[in-house]
A and B are shown apart, each in its own frame.
Chain A
Amino acid sequence: MVGRSERFSFLGKAAVQMIVIGLALLFLVPFYFVIVNSLKSYGDLLTNSASLPAELNFTNFSRAWEIMSYPRAFTNSLIITIFSNIGLVIISSMAAYKMVRTPGKAMNILFILFVSAMVIPFQSIMITLVKVGSIAGLMNSHLGLIICYFGFGVPLNLFLYHGFVKSIPKEIEESAVVDGCNAYGVFWRIVFPLLKPMTVTVVLLNSLWLWNDFLLPSLILSGKELQTIPLATYDFFGQYTKQWDLALAALVLGILPIILLFLSMQKHIVEGITAGSVKG
């Protein structure tokens, strides 16, 4: 009797493992199709898109690299992601710290104002944002786009820091004040280093969003030389519809950097999502 139930549970385990493997393959098949076909010539791709390439053919990649000015698009995406992150970390951590450490209703109301803005869908303010952007001189410049990201990123970033600052004991700061540190010294020398785990989370969550964002940059940036990777890919697809060999190579180039970032930082990203999801 015992033996049978053990055998059953062994079979059950094997079955579960098989199901998981099957599902994982199902999730990976699209990547297989894209990568395999990006290495084929157009003729091979049309005759059989499921097979492995007969020979590795990197000409698609070198052509796509040139046509979409990949190095330029990559640099643009990188600049925007880095500087938006730096600014967001500074302004949100400072504001969150001060808001937590100031007793009273006013700060609570301010905090609720920031957080409730997260319900506003981007599409319901994008039209007037373009108007504000042209009045404020934010259009068609990287700096303008970065400033927009400051505004859109602050609610979530501030929310995440707010929760984290609460868990830091006040006593450390108080002793620093006694030692003659001013408010800025206390924050930058003592509190900010303690916020590091949350800063990692915030930067990674921001990076996934900033790197992949399409709609906002498409409204703000119009010059080709300013294009980010999603914008360059979009244009590329517009020009080379149905030229799948080139298009797929461009797609692989487009997704590669963010996948590498994810694979190298996945532990932190998964932790970040769990931390960020407590907001419900």
Chain B
Amino acid sequence: MAKAIKRSKWPEYLVFIGPAMFFFTLIVIIPFLMSMYYSLTDWNGVSSKATFIGLDNFKKIFMDDDLFRKDFWFTIRFTVVSVLLTNLIGFGLAMLLTRKMKLRNVYRTVFFLPNVIGGLLLGFIWQFIFVKGFATVGELTGIGFFQLPWLGDAATAFWGLVIVQCWQFAGYVMVIYIAALINVPKELIEAAHIDGASKWVMLKQITVPLIMPAFTVCFFLSISWCFKVFDLNLSLTKGGPFNSTESVALNIYYEAFRNNRYGLGTAKAFIFFVIVALVTVLQVMYTKKKEVQA
């Protein structure tokens, strides 16, 4: 009897969980498994034939793909700088905007606003700002910063991307930091204040440890956004000048869809996956360890 009831429940599971499982498998799992196989072939995307060539693609990538190595190094530099700046700005804004102040919610909205626009359009907007806007401001004020050849050389293109990335995401992490700061018990801060602790000590000893979960989340999110940067990269610099700002994601895209080396592209994509997964998991483990209970 019990067995009969259990069997009759199967259609129900199928209806409830089946569709989610089906689409997830079709769109994520199958391509993921396939890319593991194709990374070991010389697939060119056009012909249906893909010959198994073992680890040749990986050998090629590690031994003599200078551009891929260069792009990885760029992506790492970009990620480190942008993650630190995004969180610094976002946390600073959150500290300012949790004080009592007129129009507080309006400011929060303003700082969040860039985030609702997608990376592609943001890149185009900033292309105009860097090329025309900065030049005009430079002419009017004579400040050297605005008269640099923005996006024209490797250094300004790098910092251009960093600026836009921070402008886009600082408001997002700010929202998370604000939510965490609001939940820090006021009594703790007051007690420390009465004990004569300075503002800096209170921030370091009480606030930061208590909102560690927010740091875990914000670093996780910002690291994965920066590592995977694509839209912004494509629309702001196209990887230029001279590939100096080409991200790994862009490199993979070009390898597959411009050079038609799909096998090589999937091998790169696999390396990319391993590194992104490794970095984000390690970061979460590291910051989680620092979390404390109030």
Interface centre among B97, B118, B228, B257 (most CB of A within 10 A): B118
Please tell me if A255 contacts chain B, counting CB pairs below 8 Å. yes
Smallest Cβ distance from B191 to chain A, in angstroms?
20
Chain A hits for B23, CB < 8 A: 91, 147, 150-151, 154
Tell me the residues in window 55-105 of chain B with beta carbons closer than 8 Å to chain A beta carbons: 93, 96-97, 99, 101-102
* B224/A251 in contact, CB under 8 A: no
Interface centre among B34, B117, B213 (most CB of A within 10 A): B117
CB contact under 8 A between A212 and B119, given known A50-B137, A248-B128: yes
The interface bits of chain B over 261-294 (1 if a CB of A lies within 8 angstroms of the residue's CB, else 0) are 0100110011011001100110010001000000
Smallest Cβ distance from A49 to chain B, in angstroms?
4
Give the A-binding residues of B (Cβ under 8 A). Answer: 12-13, 15-17, 19-21, 23-32, 34-35, 38, 45, 93, 96-97, 99, 101-102, 107-114, 116-121, 124-126, 128-129, 132-133, 135-137, 140, 167, 171-172, 175-176, 179, 213-214, 216-218, 220-221, 224, 227-228, 230-231, 234-235, 248-249, 252-253, 256-257, 262, 265-266, 269-270, 272-273, 276-277, 280-281, 284, 288
Give the B-binding residues of A (Cβ under 8 A). Answer: 13, 16-17, 19-20, 23-24, 27-31, 33-34, 37, 45, 48-50, 90-92, 94-95, 97-99, 102, 110, 114, 117, 119-129, 131-132, 136, 147-148, 150-152, 154-155, 158, 183-184, 187, 208, 211-215, 219, 230, 233-234, 237, 244, 247-248, 251, 254-255, 258-259, 261-263, 266, 269-270, 273-274, 277-280
23 contacts between A and B (CB under 8 A): A13-B99, A13-B101, A23-B111, A27-B110, A28-B113, A50-B137, A98-B16, A117-B32, A119-B276, A119-B280, A123-B253, A126-B253, A151-B24, A151-B25, A154-B24, A155-B28, A214-B120, A219-B257, A247-B128, A255-B117, A273-B176, A278-B217, A279-B217
